Every structure is written in C-alpha cells, then in structure tokens.
C-alpha cells in the first residue's frame, strides 16, 4: 500500500464515520446564541433513529448486550435520578458509595468470594469500580507493579501473558513502564502453561489468564497458571471482562466451565465488566482483589496539597456516579434468575449457530467457546465473506493469526429470526465465494500490511488515520 492508497482508505473511513456532515450543520465553534433545547433533542433523536437498525437487530458482534426497549428506558430513568452523582464527594452523595460497594460485593459473590481459601486469614475479597474493562486492567497492572516493587523489590517489571490476552495489557505496560511479554498459545487457542512458565523471571510482576480470551472465546487454564504464579510469589490476574457475568451462570446450568475465580488458589485479581453481560450501561467494570490489602495498591493519596487532603481509588478523580447507579440497578433488576435465564438463551442460540456453521462444508469453527463464534472459511478469503455479510447488515469483528470472523452472542442475538438470518446469509456468502473464489476483500490488504516489509505505508498508519478521522468536525 502506498500513500495514495492510504488516502483512499481514509476517505472511505470518513464517509462511514461522518455521515451527518451533509445533513446537519457542524459546530467547530460555540454558537453565538444558544440553540433551543428541543431543537437539540430533535436532532439527537433523528440521529439515534438513523442508527438504531445497526445495533438493535442483532446483527452486531457484542457492542450491545441487551437492547430491549424496556431495559433501555429503565436505564434512562436510573440515570435521570442520579445525573449529579460524583463518588469523589461521598459526603454529598453517600448513595454513590452504596451503589459501588454493593455492586462489588454482589459481583464477588458469584466469582468465588465465599470459596477463597484465604478469606479467614485476610478478610476476603474486596474491589472497586472503573470506567470499563481497559480501566480495570490498567488499574490491576499498576497495582501489581507497585506490589512487586514493595514486596519483592522488582525494578524492571514485566507482564507475562498469552498472545491472545487483551491489548489493554499492552496499553498498561506502555503507560506504566512494564515490559509486555506475549507467549504463543497452543493449537487450541489456550495459554501454553509450560511456555508461560519459561517466560517468567524474577522481574515478572504479573501473569495473565483470560476467561475467556476475546478472539476465540476460549478459557485459559487458570488453575495451572495461577498455581505457577503463586509458587513464584507473582500476582496473577484473571481477565474475565467478557465472561465474568456469563460463565458462572453457564456453569450452574451444567456447562463444563473450568475454574477461573477466587476459588482458585493464586488468583490475585479479576476484572469483569458490568457493561457487557452484566447489562449495565456503558461504561462500568468491576475490579476485584483477593483482599483489602491488595486493593490498597490501587489507591492514590496526597497529604501535602494546598487544596487539602486528596485521595482516589483509581486513576480517575471525578467518576460518573449515575453509571454506577445503572450497574447497581441492572444487577438488582436481573437477579440471579435473570442471569441464569439470559445464559440459557445465549447458550441455546450459540449452539444453534455453531451447529449451522459446522454444517457448511467450507466453514471451520475455531475454539471450544460457550458463547463466542470464531470461524474461518477454508479455500477462500474470509474477509471477502466479511464484506458480503457487511452488505447484508452484519457487523462482525475481523480476527488475524489466523484470519477469521468473530460473533459474540448476546441477548440481542437471541431474538427471533436473528440466528436463522445469520446462517442463511453465511450460506449465501459461501455460495458466492464458490462461484467467485478469487473475489477480493477490503480488509485482506490492510491486514496484510502487518506481515509485509515492502510497503510505503504501515498498518499503524492506517490505524492512526482511523483515529484522526474520528476527531475531525
């Protein structure tokens, strides 16, 4: 790819990401006179209506985990009642502390808090809330770094993780000065315990396992990894951002879910997103620690500022208390039975789609996930299939190493007709590729940049252009 081709790609991105430029006036500066509130609401309503079919029809992978109108209205009512909340000022809004403490406790209750082998000695599981999975991972890595420095004298900290671990760990390493050590996974997509052990040295601050990993939805062998980390005195983190609100209930339904929570000796912290299968609004997440002493490594405080005493539990100072309230309300309104029912619906839909995909000769499903469908198409360009599905309204995630597509089954996916439509469209897409085996795709040359040395433009240039476009008026 050369620079002219990059400009073309960026122009296509602009058309996709900025559809309202030709519909509404842009505001690069403040209007001289304020616009009427109803006019603003009308414009926002029109844009929301234009976008609704993109996410509400079940044709998007993940993104929206529960989209029924009653739930959305409930979340809106909760936000309206708590719009002013800021947990930075608990003296003004003590209900914010109630929301956060109860969300943390309820989450810990189904992630092994009562089965922690150390709870009698250390007081048991503690936690806090963040703005999302990446924020929880950032906070966990920073806490592990400081723990390793204080308890083990580590000066060149590293994070050892499977190649499938979320990029938030790389971001955390970049932000906080740790070395990111990625270890190839096994043929089943799961962390290779022996290879992980070889990668650990005396400077390792954290070992990571996923429950499940994003690409293929498979669960790493947490029991073995955490035991190995504990034997070295190293912090072990389970990234359950995607599955933490789903896997415990699938296990209760009889699915063979490997242990990944605080019932496993050596698990030090767990991240789990309330805004995914917890059905809270974006963006909230819970970060759990095995005990309060470990949670304190996330705290910041200063006693020498002219503005008075200051402390905060995470990188953020002010936090949106209304979002914490939404997570609390979503959990209470669902209850244990609600999460069980949701898990059952997702499990059934996942099985139906998986069985249907496996019946298509060229399709190969990757991994043994309970709710993620990662699949490729043998003999053809899988990204060409992605293009064909996109033309029918499907928004799937493109994977690499190997090239594949990803559909995370959510409650929206379980709605009537969605699974059948997906299978028919995949079947039709494969049929098209049988007739046009050399059909080109949009994404293949872009992903190919990552493996090519003879190119004027790097894949990072494409990603940079994508981000730049988003911030243009």
User: Do residues 161 and 183 lie in contact, with contact meaning Cβ atoms separated by under 8 Å?
Assistant: yes
- State the Cα angle at 184 between 183 and 188, rounded to 5°: 130
- Same domain flag for 270 and 397: no
Q: What is the pLDDT of residue 463?
A: 83
Task: Identify the CA nearest to 191 among candidates 217, 163, 216, 168.
Answer: 163
Q: Does some domain include residue 50?
A: no
The CATH number that applies at residue 132 is: 3.40.640.10
- Same domain flag for 307 and 182: yes
Task: Identify the CA nearest to 248 among candidates 351, 107, 137, 413.
Answer: 107
- Same domain flag for 384 and 303: no
Q: What is the pLDDT of residue 379?
A: 92
Q: Which domain does 4 fall in, by range?
A: 1-18+55-66+359-473
- Whether the model pTM is above 0.95: no
Q: How many domains does the chain have?
A: 2
- Same domain flag for 107 and 221: yes
Beta strands in 22-178 (DSSP E): 126-130, 158-162
- Same domain flag for 326 and 257: yes
The CATH number that applies at residue 431 is: 3.90.1150.10
Q: What is the pLDDT of residue 215?
A: 95
Q: Which residues contact residue 9 at a Cβ distance below 8 angstroms, ignoring those fewer than 6 apart? A: 1, 446, 462, 465
Q: What is the pLDDT of residue 54?
A: 86
Task: Kindly list the distances between the CA atom of residue 259 and the CA atoms of 211, 212, 213, in Å, as whole numbers in the listed order.
Answer: 9, 11, 15
- Same domain flag for 257 and 400: no
Query: 435-456: per-residue pLDDT in tens?
Result: 999 898 877 667 766 555 556 7
User: Do residues 139 and 132 lie in contact, with contact meaning Cβ atoms separated by under 8 Å?
Assistant: no
Average pLDDT over residues 445-472: 74
- Same domain flag for 181 and 255: yes
> In the predicted model, is pLDDT for residue 5 greater than 90?
no
- Same domain flag for 375 and 463: yes
- Same domain flag for 271 and 394: no
- Same domain flag for 61 and 120: no
């Amino acid at each position: 790819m050369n620079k002219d081709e990059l400009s073309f790609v960026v122009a296509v991105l602009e058309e996709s990401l900025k559809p309202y430029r030709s519909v509404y006036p842009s505001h690069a500066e403040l209007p001289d006179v304020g616009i009427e509130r109803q006019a603003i609401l009308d414009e926002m309503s029109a844009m929301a209506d234009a976008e609704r079919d993109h996410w509400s029809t079940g044709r998007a992978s993940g993104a929206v985990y529960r989209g029924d109108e009653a739930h959305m209205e409930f979340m809106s009512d909760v936000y309206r009642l708590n719009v002013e909340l800021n947990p930075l000022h608990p003296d003004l809004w003590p209900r914010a502390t109630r929301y956060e403490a109860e969300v943390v406790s309820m989450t810990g209750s189904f992630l092994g808090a009562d089965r922690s082998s150390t709870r009698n000695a250390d007081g048991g599981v503690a936690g806090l809330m963040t703005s999302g999975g990446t924020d929880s991972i950032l906070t966990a890595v920073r806490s592990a770094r400081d723990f390793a420095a204080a308890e083990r004298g580590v000066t060149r900290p590293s994070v050892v993780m499977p190649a499938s671990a979320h990029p938030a760990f790389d971001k955390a390493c970049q932000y906080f000065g740790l070395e990111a050590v990625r270890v190839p996974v096994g043929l089943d997509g799961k962390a290779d315990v022996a290879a992980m052990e070889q990668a650990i040295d005396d400077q390792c601050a954290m070992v990571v396992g996923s429950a499940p990993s994003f690409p293929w939805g498979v669960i790493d062998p947490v029991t073995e990894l955490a035991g190995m980390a504990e034997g070295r005195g190293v912090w072990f983190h389970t990234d359950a951002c995607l599955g933490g609100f789903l896997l415990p209930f699938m296990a209760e339904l009889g699915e063979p879910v490997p242990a990944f929570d605080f019932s496993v000796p050596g698990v030090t912290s767990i991240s789990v997103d309330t805004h995914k299968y917890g059905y809270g609004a974006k963006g909230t997440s819970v970060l759990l620690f095995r005990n309060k002493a470990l949670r304190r490594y996330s705290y910041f405080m200063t006693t020498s500022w002219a503005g008075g005493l200051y402390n905060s539990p995470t990188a953020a100072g002010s936090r949106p208390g209304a979002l914490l309230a939404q997570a609390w309300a979503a959990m209470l309104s669902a209850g244990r039975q609600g999460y069980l029912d949701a898990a059952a619906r997702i499990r059934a839909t996942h099985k139906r789609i998986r069985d249907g995909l496996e019946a298509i000769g060229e399709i190969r499903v990757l991994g043994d996930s309970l709710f993620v469908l990662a699949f490729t198409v043998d003999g053809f360009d899988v990204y060409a299939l992605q293009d064909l599905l996109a033309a029918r309204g499907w928004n799937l995630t493109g994977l690499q190493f190997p090239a594949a597509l990803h559909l995370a089954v959510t409650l929206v996916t379980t709605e009537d007709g969605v699974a059948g439509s997906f299978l028919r469209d995949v079947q039709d897409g494969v049929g098209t590729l049988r007739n046009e085996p050399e059909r080109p795709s949009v994404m293949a040359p872009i992903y190919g940049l990552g493996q090519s040395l003879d190119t004027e433009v790097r894949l990072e240039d494409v990603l940079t252009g994508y981000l730049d476009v988003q911030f243009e008026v």
